[in-house]
Structure 1
């Protein structure tokens, strides 16, 4: 008799479907460039520099021997920090953070190479990409793990809010009194009050 396969867990096919992964990559890449464009435009306007697409897509603008190159490097590092938030919101799974972070930088390599009509030969650009990918991965994994390890709440409240303590009695949400130790409490059937009497053991101790 052939052995039946174990059915997949709910949500596995949805989380690993190619359509969803592709859509997450596209949205994350667009967010990566949109945030970088905003930061670069703001920095260029403040510094009084001319805004051009070379600052965003050309690897020749990232140089370690100019002030503009170091400023762009800091902007891309800040962009990696912001993109870690996008990974938390879009991906939210620590096991997939490394794959998406490397995919974002690999696509950026392709776009930069096509825009500049050559592969990057600047060591400063490569070092920045490695540092940016490592920063985005580490911070994204930490954020996703923090979110995954948060306690799950089902809308319940603590013991102090489930019931109102009155002396030795606790009045629950259903209005029924429950006694703690000796004292008087109202019965569950609402027929009246009854008194709790301490029970003695065989030796006469309470």
Structure 2
């Protein structure tokens, strides 16, 4: 007789599904670039600078010796704060935040290297990526743990109090040696049973 296989844990296949993980990575990466593009365009318009795609994908624009470089660095840090919200909405598990945060920055490294035709050689760019990943991870873990530790409300309702009119019925039953009532704080019902004459002789 063949040995029966142990049934999988509920939700295990859904949590470890490669298709689901891949779709989450794609959505997070698109949200990462979309938010960064909005912030960069807004900052460029306010500063009166020309909008260029290099501001988004080129590592050469992130320099520590120019005002534009420091402004872009601040924009990318703000973008990591925004992506922490997307991690909370899409992932919602504190144990997976670090993996997704590092994956986002690793893909950004590949995209930046392919766009610039060179691996980033600017120390300021690398320091910014470390800072961005740290902020995204710490804030994402905190937000996911706060969501995981929230108390669960099962929608329980308090027991309605017994009408005052029923007390008379209980009193009538007690006069016959038999009655009903409730324990303290609604701890359940009890029943009074009369004792016969033969029980007194025991």
TM-score by length of 1: 0.78
Report the equivalent of 1:62.
62
Aligned partners of 2:102 and 2:82: how far apart in 1? 16
2:23 paired with 1:23: yes
Q: Would the aligned equivalents of 1:80 and 1:132 in 2 still touch at CA under 8 Å?
A: yes
- Choose between structure 1 and 2 for higher RCO, CA contacts under 8 A separated by at least 6 residues: 2
Count of aligned positions: 173
2:52 paired with 1:76: no
Greater strand proportion: 1
Aligned partners of 1:193 and 1:121: how far apart in 2? 89
Structure 1 runs not aligned, ≥5 long: 164-170, 172-176, 179-183, 197-206
Report the equivalent of 2:170.
194
Structure 2 runs not aligned, ≥5 long: 172-180, 182-202
Aligned partners of 1:77 and 1:118: how far apart in 2? 23
Report the equivalent of 1:133.
133
Q: Would the aligned equivalents of 1:185 and 1:194 in 2 still touch at CA under 8 Å?
A: no
Q: CA offset at residue 193 of structure 1?
A: 3.6
1:113-192 map, 5 Å: 113-157=113-157, 159=158, 163=160, 171=161, 177=162, 186=166
Cα 1:9/1:185, change in 2 over 3 Å: farther
Q: CA RMSD in A?
A: 2.0
TM-score by length of 2: 0.80
- Stretches of 4+ moved more than 4 A in 1? 1-5
Q: Deviations over 1:28-64 (max 9, x none)?
A: 0000000000000000000000001000000000000
Q: CA offset at residue 185 of structure 1?
A: 5.5
- Per mean C-alpha deviation after superposition, the further-off stretch among 55-64 and 145-154 is 145-154
Aligned partners of 2:20 and 2:128: how far apart in 1? 29
